[in-house]
Amino acid sequence: MTQHPNRLIHETSPYLLQHAYNPVDWYPWGEEALQKAQREDKPIFLSIGYSACHWCHVMERESFENDEIARYLNEHFVSIKVDREERPDLDEIYMTAVQVLTGQGGWPLTVFLTPDLKPFYGGTYFPPEDRWGRPGLLTVLRAIVELYHKEREKIVEQAERLTHYLKALQQPRSSAGLLSLELLQRAYLSLLQGFDREHGGFGNAPKFPHSLELSFLLRYWHRTNDPDALHIVEFSLERMARGGLYDQLGGGFHRYCIDANWRIPHFEKMLYDNALLVWTYLEAYQATKKPLYRRIVEETLDYIMREMKSPEGGFFTSQDADSPNGEGAFYVWTPAEIKAVLGPEEGARACAYFGVTESGNLSDGTSVPSQPYTLEEFAAHVGMTPSEGEAWLARVRAKLLEARERREKPARDEKILTAWNGLMISACARAYQVLGHEKYLRAAQDAAHFCLTYLYQDGMLRHSYKDGQAKFNAYLDDYAFLITALLDLYEADFDPRWIHIAQVLSTMTIEKFWDESTGGFYFTSPDHEKLLVRLKSLYDGATPSGNAAATLAFLRLAPLTDDATLRTKAEQTLRVCCAFMEQVPQGLSYMLSALDFYLSPIYQIAVIGRKDDLRTHQFLEKIRTRFLPNKIIAMGEPDDVEHTALIPLLQGKNLVNGAPAVYLCENYSCRAPITEVAELERNLR
């Protein structure tokens, strides 16, 4: 490794800084690199990854620290390194190109561009030399250079054809199809067909958590009472919680598993995965009241508060898969290590509970802790009562976690992203509503204050914050997820300023992203730098699509504020996605959840009472602990004129004989006020 840094040394992204001392003459994406490629007529070598990505680190060690490869890149290419989390726009454009070219994608993403930014060849991980049936990076580089100089017309033709295809993808048109319940049923049947009945989840290895699909299925179950829909959700959530996907000692979920039965994870922990899984486990807890789901939510959020919260209140992006001793080394155990912490007898019992064996389940003989038995089964097997088993497990986990904390931790990416913070603000706000823990409300409020202080300045929302710098124009996801977070935060503390800010951001979303010609939202704003195409993302990835998130947020905000424009835009976006929901429903799960909301009668709940009144708290507890996915709720104190003026749902509603009251309204028609908790419970649906 050279001692002289390249241009990445001036960046704030941890991922880019990891490459700042490579011998490759890296450029960040920007005018300097693009002008150099055009001036010198060189192809662009574009490498996209993120700091928690294991194979990104492997490719860096093998190839980007290799002097021979670096010399070849520096002589023949302009090399650009991009953090996909900072630039999801570039990532999606060029990931789509590689998927079209090769039929697959992933990170690290390796793309070759003409000097005018058009892709013509690409792939993911390349080893340094030919192996495993893959061409080595140096082989590929030499072939590209020869083709570029001897058969340029083939490259130009390929690049033009691919660019034309990418542009065509961004112009979906509103469908004449009906926004009907049949779309929900088709989606359910598609998910039922893909359900792994043996292990839970969907499909084969590698196995991802698919939280958005599970949340949709909960809504489908709520609508139809179909027991199979609920079974898919419960079986999947239980298997994920008991497997290696879940950190059995520290809480929180890893990115995905490389096997079908959830035992062996890729060890990175992403903020968005944990936020979305908290959403789903919370909803499952509301629907079933099973203690497992509550425990997973609490342990996951405890992990987030402990490891992923900045001193200023924002949430960090990720924890790495690798630690100094290798991939996953921080998380794995041998029986000897466990017995050294707990002693021989208790250690042997803990090994049995966590599935830690002498042979291990990894190639080096170590084990990823899992939970082969339920706690009830294990307690009965060793002669403990369930309560004794819980106490034993809490004691054992605490000791092992304390010992694990002495290990060298994986690196943490400490940039703060608006969109992903929005997801975690929602997770914390919803957890407070359902579980009642004040610490979750404070965390949600702190993160919202952070975003609105450091990432929203002078009427501009930014995408990323690190080392005192807010960078990059916000994308659609940033707006949509933050609006969703503010709605969830309002439903947690009923502070009307959250609704006011959500209204402002919704107006900005329409102004900046709405496509007046065909409907739906673009991913980037008009003042964004001009790229190869202007994206319109309709499909969910690891997070909901921005179009789906904006649609559901607008459907929730419109009845609260009596804003017909928001509902109109949401309906138009649903129509743009109608054909896609029909053809590939598994790719639009969050839009299907929005459609479920749209097709439901508008169910509004207004609570009038003082926040410190016990009856008010009892009303809210009954409402919040029920799974009511399509409700709108507002709460106002008597004589709070400012709040009432902002929320039309509260207007004309008062205490009843000086006591708190609940008004249940459907399609803007309200029933007589309810003043007794038992009566409210009977009337909630």
* Domain assignment present for 210: no
Residue 678 exposed, middle or buried by CB count within 10 Å (0-12, 13-18, 19+): exposed
- Whether 341 and 372 have beta carbons less than 8 Å apart is answered as no
CATH classification of the domain holding 646: 3.40.30
Q: How many domains does the chain have?
A: 3
User: And the tokens for 436?
Assistant: 């009642």
CATH classification of the domain holding 48: 3.40.30.10
3-state DSSP call for residue 44?
strand
> Does position 1 have pLDDT exceeding 50, yes or no?
no
Final residue in a domain of this structure, among 125, 152, 169: 169
* Domain assignment present for 44: yes
Measure the CA angle with vertex 275, ends 269 and 438; round to 5°: 120
How far is residue 432's CA from residue 118's CA, in Å, rounded to a whole number? 48
Q: Which amino acid is at 72?
A: Y
How far is residue 181's CA from residue 178's CA, in Å, rounded to a whole number? 9
User: And the tokens for 499?
Assistant: 């609704």
3-state DSSP call for residue 83?
strand
Residue 324 exposed, middle or buried by CB count within 10 Å (0-12, 13-18, 19+): exposed
- Calculate the CA 136 to chain-centre distance: 33
How far is residue 515's CA from residue 164's CA, in Å, rounded to a whole number? 19
Per-residue confidence band for 495, with pLDDT thresholds at 50, 70 and 90: very high
* Domain assignment present for 480: no
Alpha helices in 355-495 (DSSP H): 375-381, 386-404, 418-435, 438-454, 476-493
- Whether 257 and 195 have beta carbons less than 8 Å apart is answered as no
How far is residue 483's CA from residue 65's CA, in Å, rounded to a whole number? 43
* Domain assignment present for 558: no
Per-residue buried b or exposed e for 192-218, using 16+ beta carbons within 10 Å of the residue's own CB = beebbeebbbbeeeebebbbbbbbbbb
Final residue in a domain of this structure, among 139, 169, 199: 169
pTM given for the model: 0.96
346: nearest Cα among 397, 271, 279, 387: 397
* Domain assignment present for 48: yes
3-state helix, strand, coil in the chain (%, to 5): 50, 15, 35
Residue with tokens 């002008």: 35
For the stretch 14-69, pLDDT in tens is: 999 999 999 999 999 999 999 999 999 999 999 999 999 999 999 999 999 999 99
684: nearest Cα among 638, 613, 639, 633: 633
User: And the tokens for 30?
Assistant: 């920007």
How far is residue 617's CA from residue 609's CA, in Å, rounded to a whole number? 9
Looking at the chain, the whole-number percentage of residues with pLDDT higher than 70 is 99
For the stretch 507-543, pLDDT in tens is: 999 999 999 999 999 999 999 999 999 999 999 999 9
- Give mean pLDDT, residues 625-651: 94
For the stretch 121-178, pLDDT in tens is: 999 999 999 998 889 999 999 999 999 999 999 999 999 999 999 999 887 766 667 8
pLDDT at 174: 63
For the stretch 418-476, pLDDT in tens is: 999 999 999 999 999 999 999 999 999 999 999 999 999 889 999 999 999 999 999 99
Per-residue buried b or exposed e for 652-668, using 16+ beta carbons within 10 Å of the residue's own CB = ebebbeeebbbbbbeee
* Domain assignment present for 304: no
User: And the tokens for 119?
Assistant: 């892709």
Q: Which amino acid is at 513?
A: F
User: And the tokens for 491?
Assistant: 């439903």
Query: In which domain, by residue range, is 627 found?
Result: 603-683
Question: From the CB of residue 312, how many other CB atoms can be counted at a distance below 10 Å?
Answer: 13
User: And the tokens for 593?
Assistant: 């959840």
* Domain assignment present for 613: yes
Per-residue confidence band for 480, with pLDDT thresholds at 50, 70 and 90: very high
As a whole number, the mean pLDDT across the chain is 96
Final residue in a domain of this structure, among 169, 189, 218: 169
> Does position 647 have pLDDT exceeding 90, yes or no?
yes
* Domain assignment present for 225: no
Question: From the CB of residue 462, how many other CB atoms can be counted at a distance below 10 Å?
Answer: 19
- Whether 366 and 334 have beta carbons less than 8 Å apart is answered as yes
- Whether 215 and 427 have beta carbons less than 8 Å apart is answered as no
